[in-house]
Amino acid sequence: MQTLELLDRLIAFPTVSRNSNLELIGFIQEYLDGHGVTSKLIHDDEGGKANLYAIIGPEDVPGVMLSGHTDVVPVDGQDWSSDPFVMREEDGLHYGRGTADMKGFIASVLAAVPAMKTRNLARPIHLAFSYDEEIGCIGVRRMIDVLADAPVKPAFCIIGEPTEMQVAIGHKGKTDAVCTCHGVESHSALAPNGLNAIYLASEMISAIRELQTHVIETGARDDHYVVPYTTLHVGVIDGGTALNIVPNACKFRFEIRNLLEDDPMALMDRLEVKATEIAAAYQDKFPTAKIDITISNEYPGLNTAPDAEIVTFVKSLTGANDHMKVAFGT
């Protein structure tokens, strides 16, 4: 199959992260089998999703890993002019959910498999296709566990995220956390008798914004990034049950996207101290007042040295002379 034919097939699998990716993985595994490539599946706990890992070439020397994720972001609420899971061509461009991020890369890798098989490779090519990257790089963690036990590990890894073929050597780390504020319920007609958990949350959100200002003024900077400093961001908030009830609970989700030089746990520690201070200010009257912060997911940043062998190697393939760092993580 040619690249576009493979991409058309891959786009047709609606592998939004909430869905299973097993049909797509089965298609890839069957395709590889047809070219004499044995692959291994690494499932999640429920068995509804899987990573695929394969090696082409000698297995006793380090090689190059080509890594991509099979899940895509949702299309809910988006105004598509055609079915996002049916690839269409218009004016030389191909449209569909995942064409760039990142089934286009997977299709390109698969289309090259016949050539990989016919060459007498001195070093192996590793194929690594994961699940649930879009919701926190979840699937690849299981693949890493398997690779940790391999007698010979890949020397390099090329991740086919959409960079317009620019060589990206870095991305920020990410810490995803939930802040839960515990107040005291009351009827709104007697509002002073309760402790409004939404107000506690608003104080914590203000503390996060103040910490962001502090980080901008005193933290590290890296001008290779569009946003050259560590960021803190509140994205989701949930609190209250009715307008006439003082809410006893409110939670919100926030994230830290950190430069390598900034320690996200140090920032989390500062927020923990602030949470304790805010709750303590109310505990004389409301002893059960409390604010909890829980980390729900995290992954490290990438910061490959500009003169690293892998950077020079990839630049020689792309013809690029420069490199970049990307705002997203993978």
Contacts of 234 (CB under 8 A, 6+ apart): 205, 208, 252, 253, 254
> Can you tell me the distance from the alpha carbon of 54 to that of 25, in angstroms, rounded to the nearest whole number?
12
Q: What residue type is 26 in one-letter code?
A: G
**Are 180 and 89 contacting, i.e. CB atoms less than 8 angstroms apart?**
no
Q: How far is CA 93 from CA 100, 121, 162, in A?
A: 11, 34, 15
Q: Are 250 and 201 in contact (CB under 8 A)?
A: yes
* Residue among 8, 71, 132, 255 flagged as catalytic: 71
Lookup result for tokens 């009257």: 285
What is the DSSP secondary-structure string of 297-315?
EEE--EE--TTSHHHHHHH
Active-site residue, 71 included: yes
Residue with tokens 């009830």: 245
Beta pairing partners, 43? 50
Distances (CA, A) of 272 to 89, 123, 294, 295: 51, 49, 10, 12
125-130 vs 64-69, strand pairing mode: parallel
- C-alpha–C-alpha distance, residues 248 and 138, integer Å: 33
The amino acid occupying position 104 is: G
- By the 10 Å C-beta count (0-12 exposed, 13-18 middle, 19+ buried), 160 is classed as buried
* Catalytic, out of 101, 132, 133, 161: 133
Token reading at 42: 């690494």
Q: Which residues are catalytic?
A: 71, 133
